[in-house]
Amino acid sequence: MDLHAMLKSCYFGDKELLNSEGQPIFGATYRAMRFGPVPLEIYEMAKGEALWLAETGVERFPWRLDGFRLQLAANSEPDLSVFSPADFAALEIGFERSRTMNFTERTAATHGADWQAAALGTMRYEDMLNDTPEKPATIAYLEQAAPIMRL
């Protein structure tokens, strides 16, 4: 899988769940980079950063990064128990959206108001929320939950 497509799948999925359930899937730190939002912790894991091997308690990841493509390197069974049915549904939506676009379309689709507000810095989850009557309550929840959000 193309790294850009994978990272944007995470973004689309996080944004989907954030707007439907009031919380993201991953709780990653998003950086507004030139070609769109990048979940930094997931990007580091995709690159095989040793710190994340220790953090996740594995000796190696079941993928390797060849250029900009993720390649399956092992066929171990992943632990999916941390994901709820809503997480899976949002991930599927994010993946389907990302995989049906080319690089240019994905980049354009991720340069919205949330990306622009970050000005190539750290994005804020509250900027990813749609304008709805629930937005203030969701922001209050996110402010309270932010220190314990999981990756």
Higher pLDDT, 44 or 64: 44
Tens digits of residue pLDDT in 7-60: 999 999 999 999 999 989 998 999 999 999 999 999 998 988 888 888 888 888
pLDDT at 54: 82
Residue 131 in this model has a pLDDT that exceeds 90: yes
**Closest to 24 measured CA to CA, from 94, 100, 121:** 94
pLDDT at 151: 41
pLDDT at 141: 86
